[in-house]
Amino acid sequence: MSPRLDDEDPDRLYTVTGGRSRVDAGAVDLVTLIVSESEPSTGMQSEHVRILTLCRRPTAVVEISADLGMPVSVVKILLCDLLDTGAVTARHPSVTRVSSSPGVHPSLPDPELLKQVLVGLQNL
């Protein structure tokens, strides 16, 4: 698989992230759903405008990444600003895990959640 980030202009990625390269990745998952809480305002950087427009309906971080054509890690940095100002909110994945025996890692999703997944798949 060819590394397509090489196609990107590194200067552009540096600019859109304001030079930042690290973010609390634990806070935002690939499938965290992002929802806009406000409309884009004038003077906003174009990536933020695109995110706000896209997330009028809940949109997963990984979908934002695909739509913007930017690596997930860059999108997470962009989202930090919007989350900080309350322009978007995040709906984090919630998987209840059943307690596992000591030394057993990781724990399994709880049966009730899996039952709901099963019903959803069977209804496809």
Partner 1 sequence: MDSRTSDRDVRTPLRSTAENGLKIVIVGGFGVGKTTMVRSVSEIRPLSTEETMTRAGVGIDDAAGVQDKTTTTVAFDFGRISLNDEMVLYLFGAPGQERFWFLWDQLFAGTLGAVVLVDTRRLADSWYAIDRLEHHGTPFIVARNDFGGPQHTLEQVRDALDLSPEVPLVDCDARSRDSSKAVLIALVEHLHALSSARETTP
* Residue 101 CB-density burial (10 A; 0-12 exposed, 13-18 middle, 19+ buried): exposed
Q: Where is 53: in which H helix or E strand?
A: helix 46-54
Both tokens of 51, joined, read 């995110």
List 97's β-bridge partners, or say none.
109
Q: How far is the CB of 62 from partner 1 (least distance, A)?
A: 6
CA distance 21 to 73: 8
Q: How far is the CB of 16 from partner 1 (least distance, A)?
A: 10
- Contact between 53 and partner 1 by CB under 8 A: the answer reads no
Nearest residue (CB) to partner 1, 4 versus 43: 4
Residue 18 Ramachandran class (φ > 0 left, ψ -120 to 50 alpha, else beta):
left
- Per-residue contact track with partner 1, 64 to 103, x per CB under 8 A? -xxx-x-xxxx-xx-------------x-xxx--xxxx--
- Contact between 38 and partner 1 by CB under 8 A: the answer reads no
What is the contact surface with partner 1 in residues (CB under 8 A)?
1, 3-6, 10, 13-14, 17, 21-26, 29-33, 56-60, 62-63, 65-67, 69, 71-74, 76-77, 91, 93-95, 98-101, 104-111, 114-122, 124
